[in-house]
Structure 1
Amino acid sequence: MKAAVRCSALDMAGLSAAEKHAKRQDKTSAKRVVRDASPLVYKTLDLRSAYDAHTKGVRQNKAAKKPVLHFIVRFPPELLDERRTNRSKEELQRAMVRQAVEFINETHGGNAVFAARLDRDEAGESIVDVFASPVYEKRTKRTPPDQPGEMWSSATKFGRELADKHREEIQRRHSGAAPNYSAPRAVGIALQSEFAAFFERRNNIKLEPKREKSDGAPDRLETEAFKAVETERTELKTQREQLDAERAKLDAAQVDFERQKSVAVEAVRAERKRVSGLRGILVERLKSLDEAISEVRKSLPRIRRSIQIALRLGSRKEVEETRAARTDAVKIMPQMKRTKAETVALLRAMSAPKKAPEKLADTDSFDGPTV
């Protein structure tokens, strides 16, 4: 989880602009709205009148041109996951507002915040805007011990004190140059460290170690840029999910292809086995035909001699039977030769390679001449 706090100083014009934005009376606020939800408000949205009431009777340096501090306190969005707790989102957001106000008051003298709110109609639902003008009692050597000191307001006093508290870290991160402890970056470093410690102490939740920057370039995105980044991230996530779905389909198709391929291979093997068996049967049949033809050919001379003997010595009946046997032998020979020729042709057909499919002519394509 990550948490952050940023601070900027406002003059009266800036405070008026912030009030218009809070009341959704400017163009920027209309662009940022993503849902219909009212803000959670601490005290009021009337920032200028709240500031005037907060600083009534309070003195401040005449040279102070920006007496108001605008803090943007970002809590970890993961806190709003209602599955982590039995509390509703609104209860969690109200706790964020209370803690943001508590943190700013705690680090800025105890009487600093005059207004705060959490906008629930924008993309970020865990960001609290806090408006403060730290008021403190100023005591000098001239102040009687038994009397209160004058009340003053300062936008820089407590920031400098925080920076001095975190002097070691600020010096380490300002390599090669003596840091200005009242500069915005020095105050920002101290403020961030203070908020991380406050959050962990207050919620008993460990945050990710903060990533230290080597320079003072801003690392916070404006809302419009943030929305653009979030939109891009959402689109990338959608595309990634689509790619994962396509990959799953391809994997399933590959598995199905391999299965069908395996079935086809087994079918081919079975067919080859069947054809091989048929070929063996035909070969045996051809062998038997050759033997039968050979026997018939051998028997013809014997039949001829038997007829001659029967004509000289035998009866008429024996002669007729011998001649009938010769006639049958002569008739069956052509039939056996035809059967042999058919068997040989069938064996050759089974052994010959398959002919490649005939290619279509160009005129057979879809973009060819119309018939």
Structure 2
Amino acid sequence: MSAAAVPHTESVQLAAAGRRVFQVEAQALEAVGARIGEAFASACSLILASPGRLVCTGMGKSGHVARKIAATLASTGTPAFFVHPGEAGHGDLGMITDTDIVLALSYSGESDEVLMLLPALRRQGNKVIAMTGREHSTLAREADIHLDVNVPAEACPLHLAPTSSTTASLAMGDALAVALLEARGFTADDFARSHPAGSLGRRLLLHVTDVMHGGEELPCVGEEASVAEALVEMSRKRLGMTAIAAADGTLAGIFTDGDLRRALDRGIDVRQAGIAEVMTRNPRTIDATQMATEAAHLMEQHRINGLVVIDGERRPVGALNVHDLLRARVV
């Protein structure tokens, strides 16, 4: 049935049900967030001081949440991975070393598969952080630290399907990851190094020098050149622009397709004119050490299609245009 075919009354009821879920879960997050305090800080301190990894585990929906928490932690500077509690009891427990900390999720705090691991973890000397919705549950009592994710109500009208509780657990995991990220001084460059294949990582890793045209590919003429010579250079290098170098090698200006059109509009005889008459002086530039994303931002901000890349002494060392950024998938 298409959206247009849904009767109006039914459509209103469906939308109201969706909004109600957001309201219930927002209230749950507010309630759990208000309880973050000493236990949360202790959990962060324990993880920061550990030479090992954070092993996340949980059964059912809690297991799915634990897997996502592990992925978020690992990508933000805290070595972490997920172990299925059922598989752990059949050999995967060997993946956990005595220096690791275990983050165990169970909203009831009574999941048999999770509780079964506790004696073995205790014998090995592992610290356990529990994330449950019942502070008096077996898991909460047996853990070294308990993170309370109890919610006032599930969003499910039957009060059966984990909804608000899983959202709260996810948010608590995100809170841990962000608090640890800040404590470690984790940077955008660090994030990019763990995401080299993704578009975000690519944007964060690429520098101007990775996408610019330098050396023999750099379009550049001297300030004494004619417009005709500049046009030949632009045509050869095919960037729609050329840098203009002063006698001392520093950047004197830039000449673009737009400058050519403006010169023609002014009635300048470009066959006879010198480039110094028509070039743009003090153009927008970017340093060779900057990120490619900064070049994209500069072009967008000033509505220009190309940039000259300069070194610390303002000498032109490269050039790039928006097509270079598009090919590198920076924009």
* Same fold, judged at TM 0.5 (above): no
Asked which structure has the greater CA Rg, the reply is 1
- Structure with the largest fraction of strand: 2
Q: If the length of structure 1 is used for normalisation, what is the TM-score?
A: 0.21
Q: If the length of structure 2 is used for normalisation, what is the TM-score?
A: 0.23
- Structure with the largest fraction of helix: 1
